[in-house]
């Protein structure tokens, strides 16, 4: 059995997540468009009644159907019916309703003493309502091809209306005697005249507007995808580098090619008894265990301003003070270690309840000078810290087995921590016992250290 108590899952690929995000925003856009449509239609209804009086009642059912269409589209999107096909269908319904309202003869006007010819529908700038329709459509769609479809649908509907008006026997298109100014004016003022020049201009401008909107929407969608990709690349980089190093890498065109000396707190963490666990557990169980352990190390290190230099199988190397040193680095290293022990203790409670063996840690921390910089070749670089301080920290972690404790920190680190953060002295030294003249494997002389806790 594998311990999956805190295993995290991926929400899916980038395209899937981005597509779902677009759909959610389009759904919110449809809701906003439906509300704005209702407000716009209320204002237009008021204006039409001011213009036409009781004859405006002819348009009320069309206006109600137009508002209902917007809310029906939003309601279907909430139920999962969200695709270009549905958007196109509802837009076609809107276009048909609008074209009918703009060109259909109003019987309440036809019954008047001076009936309006059907051709007069082209004299009042009614074509502008198509721009309002497209503007509402933009709110609920992030698709360039949808914008092109909207423009074409409006043009086709308007063209069909022109063709219908052309079937009337009294419709006039041409201007005979165009060279005679009086003939041009007389024909232009004829209420049965339909100017094809103006209709063509309307269609061309609408098509250009739709093309510009399609370009803007496609560009916005592409820019958003690029930003998501950049964020994902930085997040992927953060899987291999600590956040502070990621920021520096992201802000430079070249690698961090500087090499410098500075004081750094170095911490080695190791899982005690992992070899025995490997002998009695499957590879899948070991991987799950290591991932859970690494997540806790990562969280503790990053929360205390450290750099997770690398994972060492069942252990890890972390530094405090890279790339930029800070007076609180020694104290942060101690705080990080204590937080890690607390996390492991809480984790062990759940592991015991689930029937898994407990996890024990050994930690070694030292403070001193190191060399910081890139090592490797042009094809494979690694940001690293090198020096005797790193070696001593590794030997301190190793010495916890012989001393019989959980953590050993050097006196140099304790002195630096107390010198820079004297107000935290009591908390930093709680449970630490001074040990003098500790000999380390492979190193001449002895070192004064502090030990925390004894093994069970």
Place of tokens 């407990």: 358
Q: How far is CA 19 from CA 51, 89, 147, 308, in A?
A: 46, 21, 18, 34
Give every CB contact of residue 442 below 8 A, 6+ residues apart in sequence. 395
Say if residue 185 is in the same domain as residue 264. no
Query: For residues 295 and 232, which has the higher predicted lDDT (pLDDT)?
Result: 295
Tokens representing 322?
A: 């890279």
Say if residue 174 is in the same domain as residue 311. no
Does 409 map to a domain? yes
Tokens representing 75?
A: 């309601």
CATH number at residue 426: 3.30.70.1230
Q: 372, 373, 385, 381: which is closest to 267 by C-alpha?
A: 385
Q: Is the pLDDT of residue 364 over 90?
A: yes
Place of tokens 């837009």: 91
Does 382 map to a domain? yes
Q: Taking CA 243 as the corner, what is the angle to CA 377 and CA 252, rounded to the nearest 5 degrees?
A: 50
Does 424 map to a domain? yes
Q: Number of structural domains, the chain?
A: 2
Helix (H, G, I), strand (E, B) or coil at 421: coil
Say if residue 59 is in the same domain as residue 195. yes
Q: 312, 323, 326: which is closest to 364 by C-alpha?
A: 312
Between strands 315-320 and 259-272, the pairing is antiparallel
Say if residue 178 is in the same domain as residue 258. no
Q: Is the pLDDT of residue 379 over 80?
A: no
Would you report the helix, strand and coil content of the chain in percent, each value rounded to 5?
60, 15, 25
User: Contact 446/437 with Cβ under 8 angstroms?
Assistant: yes
Q: What is the DSSP letter of 79?
A: T
Say if residue 66 is in the same domain as residue 210. yes
Q: Can you give the pLDDT at residue 181?
A: 64
236-285 pLDDT, tens per residue?
Answer: 556 555 565 666 656 555 555 567 889 999 999 999 888 777 777 788 88
- Percent of the chain whose pLDDT exceeds 90: 28
413-453 pLDDT, tens per residue?
Answer: 999 998 887 776 667 788 888 988 888 888 888 899 999 97
Query: For residues 3 and 40, which has the higher predicted lDDT (pLDDT)?
Result: 40
Does 245 map to a domain? no
Say if residue 210 is in the same domain as residue 314. no
Q: Can you give the pLDDT at residue 7?
A: 45
Q: Can you give the pLDDT at residue 178?
A: 53
Say if residue 58 is in the same domain as residue 172. yes
Say if residue 280 is in the same domain as residue 170. no
DSSP string, 239-284: TTS-HHHHHHHHT-SS----EEEEEEEEEEEEEETHHHHHHHS-HH
3-39 pLDDT, tens per residue?
Answer: 554 544 343 455 666 666 667 777 888 888 889 999 9
Say if residue 220 is in the same domain as residue 276. no
| First and final C-alpha spacing in the chain | 26
Identity of the highest mean pLDDT range in 105-109, 183-187, 352-356, 378-382: 352-356
Q: 16, 155, 146, 183: which is closest to 99 by C-alpha?
A: 155
Parent domain of 394: 254-454
Q: Is the pLDDT of residue 46 over 60?
A: yes
Say if residue 40 is in the same domain as residue 125. yes
Confidence of residue 198 (pLDDT cuts 50, 70, 90): confident
Does 176 map to a domain? yes
Say if residue 408 is in the same domain as residue 338. yes
Does 103 map to a domain? yes
User: Contact 410/449 with Cβ under 8 angstroms?
Assistant: yes
Whole-angstrom distance, CA of residue 409 vs CA of residue 84: 64
Does 241 map to a domain? no
How confident is the prediction for the chain on average, in pLDDT?
A: 82
Does 3 map to a domain? no
Say if residue 297 is in the same domain as residue 218. no
Query: C-alpha dihedral over 33, 38, 43, 47, to 10 degrees?
Result: 110
Q: Can you give the pLDDT at residue 332?
A: 92
391-409 pLDDT, tens per residue?
Answer: 999 999 999 988 889 999 9
Between strands 360-376 and 381-386, the pairing is antiparallel
Confidence of residue 378 (pLDDT cuts 50, 70, 90): low
Report the largest interatomic distance among the alpha carbons of the chain, rounded to a whole angstrom.
Answer: 118
């Amino acid at each position: 059995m594998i311990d999956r108590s805190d295993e995290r899952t991926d929400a899916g690929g980038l395209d899937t997540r981005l597509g779902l995000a677009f759909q959610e925003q389009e759904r919110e856009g449809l809701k906003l468009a439906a509300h704005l449509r209702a407000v716009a239609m209320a204002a237009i209804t008021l204006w039409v009644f001011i213009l036409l009086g009781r004859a405006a009642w002819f348009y009320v059912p069309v206006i109600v159907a137009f508002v209902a269409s917007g809310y029906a589209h939003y309601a279907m999107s909430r139920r999962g019916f969200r695709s270009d096909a549905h958007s196109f269908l509802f837009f076609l319904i809107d276009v048909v309703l609008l074209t009918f309202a703009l060109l259909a003869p109003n019987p309440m006007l036809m019954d008047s003493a001076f009936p309006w010819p059907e051709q007069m529908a082209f004299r009042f700038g009614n074509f502008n309502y198509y721009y309002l329709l497209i503007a509402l459509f933009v709110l609920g769609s992030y698709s360039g091809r949808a914008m092109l479809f909207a423009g074409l649908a409006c043009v086709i509907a308007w063209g069909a209306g022109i063709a219908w008006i052309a079937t009337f026997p009294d419709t006039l298109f041409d201007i005979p005697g165009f060279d005679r100014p009086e003939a041009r004016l007389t024909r232009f003022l004829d209420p049965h005249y339909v100017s094809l020049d103006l209709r063509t201009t309307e269609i061309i401008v609408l098509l250009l507007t739709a093309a510009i909107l399609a370009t803007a929407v496609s560009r916005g969608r592409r820019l958003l995808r690029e930003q998501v990709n950049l964020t994902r690349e930085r997040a992927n980089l953060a899987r291999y580098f600590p956040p502070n190093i990621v920021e520096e890498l992201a802000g430079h065109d070249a690698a961090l090619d500087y090499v410098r000396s500075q004081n750094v707190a170095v911490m080695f963490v190791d899982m005690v008894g992992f070899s025995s666990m490997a002998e009695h557990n499957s590879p899948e169980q070991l991987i799950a265990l290591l991932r859970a352990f690494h997540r806790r190390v990562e969280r503790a290190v990053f929360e205390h301003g450290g750099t997770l230099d690398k994972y060492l199988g069942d252990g890890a190397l972390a530094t405090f003070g890279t790339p930029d040193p800070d007076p609180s680095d020694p104290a942060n290293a101690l705080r990080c270690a204590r937080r890690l022990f607390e996390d492991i203790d809480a984790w062990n409670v759940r592991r015991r309840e689930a029937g898994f063996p407990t996890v024990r840690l050994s930690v070694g921390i030292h403070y001193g000078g190191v060399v910081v910089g890139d090592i490797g070749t042009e094809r494979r670089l690694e940001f690293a810290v090198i020096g005797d301080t790193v070696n001593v920290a590794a030997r301190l972690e190793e010495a916890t087995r012989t001393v019989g404790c959980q953590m050993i920190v050097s006196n140099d680190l304790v002195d630096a921590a107390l010198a820079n953060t004297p107000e935290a002295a009591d908390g930093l030294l709680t449970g630490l016992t001074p040990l003098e003249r500790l000999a380390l494997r492979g190193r001449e002389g002895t070192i004064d250290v502090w030990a925390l806790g004894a093994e069970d």
